[in-house]
Amino acid sequence: MRKVSLIVLTGVLCLLWLVPAASAMDYNYWIPLLPDSIDGMNKSGEPEGMNNGSDDDAWSLLKQKYSDGDKRITFAMVSGEEAPFFLQFRKGRKFPYESASKIIRALYVSDYKALYIKKDRRDNSRLALRIDDTLVSLEASPARSEEDMIEMMKNDVPLKEIAEQFQ
């Protein structure tokens, strides 16, 4: 009887450990967190997402586009250290620079590590911040100032609710 109880307890503990890990990586759980509008722009189309890889290489991505005429914003959430943008985020935080055509600046937004990137050639800007092992980003086209991007992130993105997903 004791052996059966131990096996059942082990199984329950494994399930409790696996379920949160799996659900934290599934982009579908993030869809309810999508803002209805950003900077007065409404959603443009349906959200796009993917769950990629497995085990240590796993990462997930959710994107939602917003637009108003020629102005566009793309909201994205990326989870998993192996995601391509994580590498850019880590390098940008370590090696910020500014040139005539590109700015990469490390900063903090609402106590989260953040990275602002502006590219004149592409006429876009991006603000990404790290919440636990997830990056939350806004990409604007045409490019917006660092201050505008921070204001949009603070006012229109549910940072508190996103952070609560990881507690």
Q: pTM of the full predicted structure?
A: 0.81
Helix (H) or strand (E) holding 160: helix 159-164
d(CA 78, CA 137) in angstroms, rounded, equals 8
Q: How many CA atoms lie within 13 A of 34 on its CB side?
A: 26
pLDDT tens, residue by residue, 110-123 = 999 999 999 988 89
pLDDT tens, residue by residue, 39-65 = 999 999 999 999 987 767 788 999 999
Q: Provide the terminal-to-terminal Cα distance of the chain, rounded to the nearest Å.
A: 36
Domain range for 155 is 2-164
Q: How many domains does the chain have?
A: 1
- pLDDT score recorded for residue 1: 55
Tokens representing 44?
């443009």
CB 85 within 8 A of CB 135: yes
CATH number (domain holding residue 95)? 3.40.1000
- Over residues 92-111, mean pLDDT: 92
